[in-house]
Copies of this chain bind each other. A is one copy, B any other.
Amino acid sequence: MIDSPQNQHVKLFRSLAEAKHRRESGFFALEGRRLIEEALAASAQLVWAAYCPETFLGPEADRLLHSLMTAGVELHEITPRALGAMSHTGTPPGIAAVARIPEAPVVPAEGGWLLGLWEIRDPGNMGSMARIAHAFGAAAVLAIGDCVDFWDPKVVRASVGSVLHVPLLKAAGLSDLRALVGFETPLVAADMAAPLACDAAEYPERSVLLVGSEAHGLPDEALAAAQLLVRIPMPGGAESLNAAVAAGILAFQLSRKLGA
């Protein structure tokens, strides 16, 4: 039974809140039944899991523990004190696990549109956007420039496990992005000043939908490089939307126009 806040598993798990420690170890952290179920479903490489026998109870808990054992995942019992000490959430959810960060995939050569996220620093938005990409069938998510890391515990949590399902790539900037996706792949940019409404546009079968942060939007170089600029028509008084909400509306429209 793990009980000490100084236990090596506890210390490793806690350290995974920092990008540096994730990079060094190659691991990321998962908390809660739902995320760990998603990880199993996505065939993520779980290294170990630790659960509180006193609080992680019920048929769903039993099923997950059984699946973890069947999958050969190293299982530890842990006290609420030690789980609380290692948790990245306010309310430790009874079970936590460490998994190996998947190798960076290649850009899928086929299969529709890609979601390009430009300098998204908010982990909640980043996670929501990965979930949006997953929900609307994006072939991959590309984090462009200085984005929050996909494997930050807050991103993983906000994605509700979608980071485990959608190919995730990084591009240093615009030219790196174009090299990655192919120079012939059109860019579609969200721009509040564009004359064309997002539901009036025709979208190419394959494109990168570029979405910027709430504070800065997309930079001029991205707008200039885009083949298609689209706007979300807002008849009310607010001038902008949360970046993930805007990405959701655009991804929905694009997937509908492509006949999905």
Q: Known contacts A128-B242, A242-B244, A245-B128: does B260 contact A134 (CB below 8 Å)?
A: no
Task: Output the nearest chain B residue to A130 by Cβ-Cβ distance.
Answer: B238
Contacting residue for A236 out of B128, B134, B239, B240, CB 8 A = B134
Does A255 contact B232, Cβ atoms closer than 8 Å? no
Which residues of the other chain, B, contact A232 by a CB distance below 8 angstroms?
252
- Cα–Cα distance between A137 and B236 once the two chains are bound (Å): 4
Report A9 CB to chain B, min CB distance, Å.
29
- Cα–Cα distance between A147 and B135 once the two chains are bound (Å): 26
Does B244 contact A256, Cβ atoms closer than 8 Å? no
Is A131's CB within 8 Å of the partner chain B?
yes
Does A241 contact B199, Cβ atoms closer than 8 Å? no
Task: Output the nearest chain B residue to A235 by Cβ-Cβ distance.
Answer: B260
Task: Output the nearest chain B residue to A232 by Cβ-Cβ distance.
Answer: B252
Does A131 contact B260, Cβ atoms closer than 8 Å? no
Which residues of the other chain, B, contact A244 by a CB distance below 8 angstroms?
242, 244-245
Contacting residue for A234 out of B124, B136, B237, B242, CB 8 A = B136
Which residues of the other chain, B, contact A247 by a CB distance below 8 angstroms?
245
Is A79's CB within 8 Å of the partner chain B?
no
Is A72's CB within 8 Å of the partner chain B?
no
Does A238 contact B131, Cβ atoms closer than 8 Å? yes
| Number of residues on chain A facing chain B (CB within 8 A) | 36
Per-residue CB proximity of A224-260 to B under 8 Å, as 1/0? 0000000011111111111011111100100110001
Is A208's CB within 8 Å of the partner chain B?
no
Is A162's CB within 8 Å of the partner chain B?
yes
Which residues of the other chain, B, contact A248 by a CB distance below 8 angstroms?
241-242, 245-246, 248-249
Residues of chain A from 101 to 137 with CB closer than 8 A to chain B in the complex: 124, 128, 131-137
- Cα–Cα distance between A158 and B244 once the two chains are bound (Å): 12
Is A178's CB within 8 Å of the partner chain B?
no
Is A177's CB within 8 Å of the partner chain B?
no
Contacting residue for A241 out of B124, B131, B241, B242, CB 8 A = B131
Does B124 contact A238, Cβ atoms closer than 8 Å? no
Does A134 contact B256, Cβ atoms closer than 8 Å? no
Which residues of the other chain, B, contact A234 by a CB distance below 8 angstroms?
135-137
Which residues of A approach B to under 8 Å, CB–CB? 124, 128, 131-138, 158, 160, 162, 165, 199, 232-242, 244-249, 252, 255-256, 260
